[in-house]
Amino acid sequence: MSAGGRRRRGERAEPSRKQLMVAAIDCFARLGYQGTSIDRIARDAGVTKGAVYCHFRDKEDLLFEAVKDRVGSFEHQVLRAVPAGQDVVLALRNVAEACFFHATVSNHRRFIITLMVEALDTNPRLSAEFRQMLRRFRGFLASIVRIGQEQGVFRRDVEPEVASSALMGGIMGAEIEHYQDPQVVDLRRVLDLLIDQTLAWLAPARASTAA
Amino acid sequence: MSAGGRRRRGERAEPSRKQLMVAAIDCFARLGYQGTSIDRIARDAGVTKGAVYCHFRDKEDLLFEAVKDRVGSFEHQVLRAVPAGQDVVLALRNVAEACFFHATVSNHRRFIITLMVEALDTNPRLSAEFRQMLRRFRGFLASIVRIGQEQGVFRRDVEPEVASSALMGGIMGAEIEHYQDPQVVDLRRVLDLLIDQTLAWLAPARASTAA
Amino acid sequence: MSAGGRRRRGERAEPSRKQLMVAAIDCFARLGYQGTSIDRIARDAGVTKGAVYCHFRDKEDLLFEAVKDRVGSFEHQVLRAVPAGQDVVLALRNVAEACFFHATVSNHRRFIITLMVEALDTNPRLSAEFRQMLRRFRGFLASIVRIGQEQGVFRRDVEPEVASSALMGGIMGAEIEHYQDPQVVDLRRVLDLLIDQTLAWLAPARASTAA
Amino acid sequence: MSAGGRRRRGERAEPSRKQLMVAAIDCFARLGYQGTSIDRIARDAGVTKGAVYCHFRDKEDLLFEAVKDRVGSFEHQVLRAVPAGQDVVLALRNVAEACFFHATVSNHRRFIITLMVEALDTNPRLSAEFRQMLRRFRGFLASIVRIGQEQGVFRRDVEPEVASSALMGGIMGAEIEHYQDPQVVDLRRVLDLLIDQTLAWLAPARASTAA
DNA sequence: CATGAATGAGTTTTCATTCAT
DNA sequence: CATGAATGAAAACTCATTCAT
């Protein structure tokens, strides 16, 4: 009770599991998995090392939980940002907007990108998880493109899968540039240009009039 | 004779410094800086741990030497691929081609991307080095765009800096996707589409009126 | 249970921090700082290397803690041995007695002398600490001399600072000789002679004719 | 020949063995045996590590050679400073003078004291060497005292061995204080006082009343 | 649940020593 | 003699994990 842990009435018990997740996500996003020690996470969460093992089997478990949390949350956000039946052009813009939001306001996107790169050859299981996530995301973008093609809004001689790869890569790459050099790379403008470019490219050939 | 690396006469001294660099670059590219132990590098290079310290002050020194080597080499390759006075369209295609080459045949590009992401918050000095490199690269791409604009080959209402950010991000992102999922992401096709898209976007307006 | 130091219930927690300090002091006194490995200290204390880092930041921290502990303890002993208002002659004898005690029964004096010599050019910060300690000690001795002079017990044409330097040096030197060659150098007799000599020298001139 | 090693005509080949000894003595005096690396000595001597092994079997051999060199040289100096048949009072003053000289002009005395303390429990063989040296030195001082006693210049109720221990300890201790705090401890004055004190003590009792 | 001391394996680094040239 | 690359053992330190309380 003297050890600072007592909460006042109504102070929402702040389950330390949640705090640990928050701290872990932040640390992993900035320092990577290998660069983050359990001790660091615990300290940031305001508990001791031992407490981590009350909630998670080991460091990897914490990692997977964090990834599941962030990936799920992000995908949910994107789906919410793109209601079914929406204008496909608006849909693509909204996806970019969601990415922008999560890349600047939260560090969810950076968390994903950082761990994805790190996991490539060091954590096959995690890497597989990310692979699935990217496939879902590309599939999602490709489906938007496909709908646009069916609606006659997009030209038909473009493979939706390749186009979605290019778009997704463009978004990720722009983010990395921005994390690296926020003073020079204005993420908003780069993403806007990226979407404009994509839409122009997808516009049916005639006298292409992108939004 | 059993005592390790002693070479017999005429056995081509195979300067172990070079071998250490090669091993280090490969390990760092795949496992990251923190994920690579000195011991691993030494073993891969066929020497003992101690030998590493014969050639490099410490692990970080080895890292910086490796980065300097790879970045320098890559930039040299790109400059060679784009002779001065070349057609700007061809120039952009050649840049993409060089990236494709170094992303698939060697692992130089992956080395750079992996370390760039890892260094963000863990190694400010290295991160600054990468920041400079990206600025040079963006500046180089922007100069090509600018020349195209002066030649009337590219439209003039596009800011070269933003366009080069989008292009560079697109390349890096496509590479990451490819490293993640080589079976699904055909880097060549994605890069081709990326360049096509960029060139279409840069094409002088005939009737195209993008927002 | 086999996993080492886990104590059974009631087994008197024997705080290992204390044991580590004891082991460290003993090792440093005999082997010097550089000659003592963390592993050695841990083994002597009956714990593993890792435990050391549980209680001390690093080897140097352990060193400074040990020095602080011993120096403080020794100064405390000396002050207790020389109550305020005591006969100055008795005071000097008691100081020598305290040194004798800590040089033979414990190894506190040897600890201080060993580290003081080693630190000279290898650890400026520690050396400064010892410098302060010696200044305090000399100041303390000088104050006794000064009081004796005021009381008319000691002659007045002697500088207390120089006299205290000679006395302190005499004590330290005698100890070193004794550590070196305990069979030949009888520390008690040398210290006694030293004090006799000092007191004779400090005695008010009656007919004393020094060369 | 390009490697800087070529000497001009007449430049006295400066046998590197000598330079290595000089460098070793200096390093050992300041940093101790364990605190000095072979590489450091070699660098200070202007050669490479390997060269050390051309002249000395190993680090310990270099140590013993250095000790032999310094101890021999110092004893020789002292003997020269005290010609046989000299006035015993002058003899003691000259010994102190020789110590002062070698403690301030060269670092021979510090070399001896540093290694003597370090060797105590870490190098029994070296420690034995120093023990012999101290015995010789004490014997030498004791013989002077004894001669003085026979000449009636010194009182006879003092044991020469104990007196010489006190004197030798006083000299060593004063030196250590001076190495520690040269700005506060004026070695010359402390040694002078020490000799005065000793001589006063040794003066035949006329009215001298020690406590 | 939570703490914090402790373990033990693994990491970076140092350094005396060897040896082909 | 001298060099300098290389070895190998030992050192300091880190950190995920365990466990008694």
pLDDT above 60 for B142: yes
Check residue D206 and give its pLDDT.
62
Nearest-by-CA chain B residue for A205: B208
Instruction: Burial-class residue C183 by CB neighbours within 10 Å (0-12, 13-18, 19+).
Output: exposed
Check residue A5 and give its pLDDT.
42
Place of tokens 């005591």: C86
Chain A interface, best mutation among B40, B177, B208, by max A CB count within 10 A: B177
Write down the pTM of the prediction.
0.89
pLDDT band of residue C14 (cuts 50, 70, 90) is low
Query: What distances in angstroms separate CA B208 from CA A192, A205, A207, B112, B155, one per listed residue?
Result: 17, 10, 6, 37, 11
Please state whether strand E lies within 7 Å of residue B12 at its CB atom: no
Q: How many angstroms separate the CA of residue C166 from the nearest CA in chain D?
A: 6
Q: In A 45-74, which Cβ lie closer than 7 Å to strand E?
A: 47-51, 53-55
Instruction: Burial-class residue D22 by CB neighbours within 10 Å (0-12, 13-18, 19+).
Output: middle
Range of weakest confidence among C5-9, C48-52, D205-209: C5-9
Check residue D20 and give its pLDDT.
95
Q: Which nucleotides of F are covered by protein (CB under 7 A)?
A: 1-21
Q: What is the percentage of chain C residues whose pLDDT exceeds 70? A: 91
Per-residue pLDDT reduced to its tens digit, A166-201: 999 999 999 999 999 999 999 999 999 999 999 999
Q: Across residues D150-175, what is the average pLDDT?
A: 96
- The neighbours of chain D, by the rule of 3 or more Cβ pairs under 8 Å, are C
- Cβ contact, residue pair B210, A189, below 8 Å: no
Q: CA-to-CA distance for B109 and B176, rounded, in angstroms?
A: 10
Per-residue pLDDT in tens (0 to 9) along chain A, 211 residues = 343 444 444 444 467 899 999 999 999 999 999 999 999 999 999 999 999 999 999 999 999 999 999 999 999 999 998 888 789 999 999 999 999 999 999 989 999 999 999 999 999 999 999 999 999 999 999 999 999 999 999 999 999 999 999 999 999 999 999 999 999 999 999 999 999 999 999 998 764 444 4
Please state whether strand E lies within 7 Å of residue B61 at its CB atom: no
Chain D interface, best mutation among C26, C193, C209, by max D CB count within 10 A: C193
pLDDT above 50 for C175: yes
Per-residue pLDDT reduced to its tens digit, C57-97: 999 999 999 999 999 999 999 999 988 888 999 999 999 99
Sign of CA dihedral C111, C114, C118, C124: positive
Q: CA-to-CA distance for C25 and C111, rounded, in angstroms?
A: 7
Per-residue pLDDT reduced to its tens digit, B66-111: 999 999 999 999 999 888 888 999 999 999 999 999 999 999 999 9
Check residue B86 and give its pLDDT.
82
Token couple for B124: 């400010």
Range of weakest confidence among C113-127, D72-86, D172-186: D72-86
Average pLDDT for chain B? 90
Nearest-by-CA chain B residue for A26: B121
What sections of C82-159 are H helices per DSSP? 88-104, 108-122, 124-151
Q: Is C7 helix (H, G, I), strand (E, B) or coil?
A: coil
Q: CA-to-CA distance for A186 and A194, rounded, in angstroms?
A: 12
Check residue C206 and give its pLDDT.
62
Nearest-by-CA chain D residue for C198: D197
Check residue D5 and give its pLDDT.
42
Check residue A38 and give its pLDDT.
97
Per-residue pLDDT reduced to its tens digit, D15-71: 789 999 999 999 999 999 999 999 999 999 999 999 999 999 999 999 999 999 999
Check residue C2 and give its pLDDT.
36
**Nearest CA among B123, B167, B126 for reference residue B144:** B167
Q: Is A13 helix (H, G, I), strand (E, B) or coil?
A: coil
- Return all residues near C157 (Cβ < 8 A) that are at least 6 apart: C205
Determine the distance between C37 (CA) and E12 (C1') in angstroms. 17
- The neighbours of chain A, by the rule of 3 or more Cβ pairs under 8 Å, are B
